[in-house]
Amino acid sequence: MSADDTQVLIGPEQDRGEWPVGTDSFFQPQRAAFWLLAALIVNGLFYTVNMFSMGFRVVPVTALLGLLVWGVYTLIFVLVFRTLDLLEQHPPEAFVLAFAWGGFGAVYFAAPANIAIQGLCAKLVSPDFVAAWGPAIAGPITEEFLKLAGVILLVLVARNQFQTYLSVLIVGAMAGLGFQVIENLSYTVNASMHFPLENQVYPVFLNLFTRGLLSGLWSHAAYTTIASFGVAWFLLHPERSKAMRIAVAFLCFALAWAMHFIWNSPWLEDLFDGGYGEMAVMLLVKGIPAMIAAGLFWRVAARENGAYLHALAAYFVPERELIRDDEWMRLGAPLQRYKVRRQMGWTFGLRARWLKTQLQREQLRLVRKAMTYGRGAQTLRHEVAIRRLRAELEPLIRQP
């Protein structure tokens, strides 16, 4: 990526001069990265459908129920990601493309690459070594690289969509989630095909419990979040030397690789028996460090996103009747904004809480629309909505 490309990817700590207006679309047929991303996703889609075709014929109940269960699982994560992204920096197609890359593009290359690496290890070391350590060696090498490659491709497709750490981390998390969900669906179908009992429902919920609940918080989405932070730091710090930016990106990737390696390794397995309770404890012990690391990166990104939002609001919406001082302070803090809504509901009723919720949403939409297009006719309806909501809310919360 050239220096010119990185200049549009500015962070809140830099001297902007004038704020950026307008953002790239994710439909960029004039850019090679767009066609490469699309071709690899479509190719992976055909591969994945062909891979699951036998499962749909042999265990159709498992396949359909698995699609439903893992679809709901995906939706929950997407809602969380959208809640964290207060600026709603990406349109829905960004989430779809990131998920599709992880689930189709990355999976297509990872499956044969893992087999090849494990086959090479079997020849160079021994089959017994591969049986124990093969997943730990092959998985992190291929899967972390491929998932992160999709994040980089998306950045190259819509370059000035990525103006904060959080905007990069959310795309990385979605790519990891896509890989995780398609992998879990594959395991669910395969488990049902080889299940000792003639039951096509039990394997779905067994895999949901083990792979979705016990390991879902510290699986692929967490690893790609960690690796994506390095990409974000590279993009948002053009004032640093290229060597330092590459080093930070490499260190974040190495940390994600190490977390994945530990998860796939046979470490600690000898300390636990094969029972579900013991297995759950082992998964917690191995997975919690990854969740803590990913949580720390999310926290840094959220704080930076809040500072960015404050700066945008101060620049584009200086009118205090639109965003008052206390509201401005809470713009980038979802939990504080929620506490205000909850307290208002307890004190003044459900209608007051609903109006406050709508007011907060319109304020965020005003800031986001002004950031993208500037103030004018395109932001007028949000300004009118804020004044109307405040006029309705004030009589309800006015103290006698």
Other Cβ atoms within 10 Å of 394 Cβ, number: 10
CA distances from 352 to 26, 43, 201, 330, 339 (A): 38, 51, 45, 18, 13
Q: What is the mean pLDDT of residues 12-31?
A: 60
Domain ranges of the chain: 3-312, 320-397
Q: What is the mean pLDDT of residues 116-130?
A: 92
Q: What is the per-residue pLDDT for 17?
A: 35
Q: Cβ(206)–Cβ(280) under 8 Å?
A: no
CA distances from 118 to 115, 139, 143, 266, 346 (A): 5, 10, 14, 15, 59
DSSP letter at 111?
Answer: H
Q: What is the per-residue pLDDT for 20?
A: 44
Q: Is residue 156 helix, strand or coil?
A: helix
Kind and range of the H or E element at 210? none
Other Cβ atoms within 10 Å of 76 Cβ, number: 11
Is pLDDT above 70 for 12? no
Q: Where are the alpha helices (DSSP H) in 85-164?
A: 92-100, 107-124, 127-139, 145-157
pLDDT-wise least confident of 89-98, 102-111, 352-361: 89-98
Is pLDDT above 60 for 394? yes
pLDDT tens digits, one per residue of 38-64: 999 999 999 888 888 888 888 899 999
51 closest CA partner among 112, 10, 126: 112
pTM of the model: 0.84
CB burial of 206-226 (b: ≥16 within 10 Å; e: otherwise) equals bbbebbbebbbbbbbbbbbbb
Q: Name the residue with higher pLDDT: 2 or 246.
A: 246
> What is the overall mean pLDDT for the chain?
86
Q: What is the mean pLDDT of residues 29-37?
A: 94
Q: Binning pLDDT at 50, 70 and 90, where does residue 195 land?
A: confident
Q: What is the per-residue pLDDT for 148?
A: 96
Q: Is residue 228 helix, strand or coil?
A: helix
Other Cβ atoms within 10 Å of 198 Cβ, number: 5
